Homo-oligomer: A and B are copies of this chain.
Amino acid sequence: MPFSQDTAHTLIATLREQLGDRHVLTAAEDIAPALVESRGLYRGTALAVVRPGSTEEVAATVRACSEAGVPIVAQGGNTGLVGGGVPYGGIVLSLARLDCVRSVSPGDAAITVEAGVILADVQAAADEVGMLFPLSYASEGSARIGGSLATNAGGTAVLAYGNARELVLGLEVVLADGRIWNGLKALRKNNAGYDLKHLFIGSEGTLGIITAAVLKLFPKPLSRSVGFVGLPSFRAAVELFQHMSRAADRDLTAFEVMPRFGLEIVLKHAPGSVRPLAGDHAVYALVELSSTRPNADTGEDLEGMLAAGIENGLVEDATIGTSEAQNAGLWALRENLSDVQKAEGGSIKHDVSVPLSRLADFLEQATAACEREMPGLRVCAFGHAGDGNIHFNLSQPVGMDKAAYLAEWGRFNRIVHDIVSEMDGSIAAEHGIGLIKRDELALYGDPVGLDLMRRVKAALDPHDLMNPGKIVALGDDAPAALPV
């Protein structure tokens, strides 16, 4: 800790005075949940968990910490997957009490929310006025929108609507010195100087703390059709995507893939799962067409596209949901895949992207390399194929010791990330860098780009108090990655 015990005591007393005793938690059992990240890979330490109730209170908290020289980690739902929210001895600033939907304006197709609003509640507030907030991912029931934006979250709606970044019109941010930047504009066009919001989106709390945002809303689809497709290979899946994206353009709202192994473990471990197709296929795709046009027939369109796929040999078999319940059942096969991997033992994970034209090559090369490295290892490569983003996960060989397997994490990172890098891809497609990939970024990132990041960090947070040691380490005193 770079600050003294006295400093810590004085800071806690100041914060208690500013926020009230019950919003400054210091008891071990109260702060425990904030110290561990969602996969249990890291455990940190903290002086306190502080729960300000307004933007002004966030600003006062940050100012007090800044004056004391004590680092701050912002947390929303603490659902991140890269250790970005793990604290190292400073203050955890919870945004949970900033949970107000400030306004919904259908006329501007915009909603203004505070950082602590749960993602599903943003979706619900949009739905209430007959509109759509498309951002959607597995943890949406507990993830808070401030974290979604701070990590530029992806998910299943990126194909048609973009990443979290693309859904933001304006931001309110508390800076490292406790000042408030008010960039809460509901404008579709604004070239009044540098676009500061893009600095903070995806910066994982290292440049400032997002306290509120103006988000885009969209017309709600009036119809959707979901298909589950059996394919001979990932290469066929990518080719089917190319055909469908040309024919359906923005009506193609999802194109997700999984291997046979993925479907089998969902059917085995997720209660209520129903086998969607009679035969077995090497690869499966979940595809969705949606339309906001009253006269659209997404079912007919989808049938036509899949029939064409069968004709030109890409598709082996396919089914289309005939009710919303069936559609939900097909989606569940994809959504449950994240969870059921746990039941198969240790899983070494990669969240990578490559240019779409290299995706099939990547999957073939990386699969072969990993299987060669450890016979019996089971590749579970699945996810957002339409975005070129694959969760290239590796389930352990049956019967191997889990801890011994997970100790090989670094070795497989090197194999997979080398191939990604050679294909001009990204080693951090949608989950971010945080702690878990900081050293990987230092290894694979463009050195000039890394230097730019450090300069930006130093310019906005000169004392390195905002989530220090995440994304880029500024000095030698940056905390090392601390596994549990």
Q: A residues bordering B, Cβ < 8 Å?
A: 105, 107-110, 151-152, 154, 158, 163, 165-166, 175, 179-196, 198-199, 201-203, 207, 218-219, 242, 245-251, 292-295, 301, 353-357, 384, 387-389, 424-433, 437, 441, 444-446, 448-450, 452-453, 455-456, 458-460, 471-472
- B183 x A429 contact (CB < 8 A): no
- A446 x B158 contact (CB < 8 A): no
- A353 x B187 contact (CB < 8 A): yes
- B424 x A193 contact (CB < 8 A): no
Q: Which of B183, B203, B250, B427 contacts A194 (CB 8 A)?
A: B203
- B194 x A353 contact (CB < 8 A): no
Which 6 pairs from chain A and chain B are nearest by CB? A198-B198, A459-B459, A107-B357, A249-B292, A190-B426, A192-B428
- A356 x B108 contact (CB < 8 A): yes
Chain B residues with Cβ below 8 Å from A295 are 301
- A196 x B452 contact (CB < 8 A): yes
Chain B residues with Cβ below 8 Å from A353 are 187-190
Q: Which of B180, B189, B428 contacts A191 (CB 8 A)?
A: B428
Q: Given A163-B189, A449-B193, are A219 and B249 neighbors across the interface (CB < 8 Å)?
A: yes
A250 to B248, CA, bound (A): 12
Q: Given A151-B191, A154-B189, A187-B426, are A199 and B202 neighbors across the interface (CB < 8 Å)?
A: no
A479 to B424, CA, bound (A): 42
Chain B residues with Cβ below 8 Å from A154 are 189, 191
A246 to B294, CA, bound (A): 10
Question: Closest B-chain residue to A105, C-beta based?
Answer: B357
A426 to B184, CA, bound (A): 12
- A429 x B191 contact (CB < 8 A): yes
Question: Closest B-chain residue to A460, C-beta based?
Answer: B455
A456 to B185, CA, bound (A): 21
Chain B residues with Cβ below 8 Å from A458 are 459
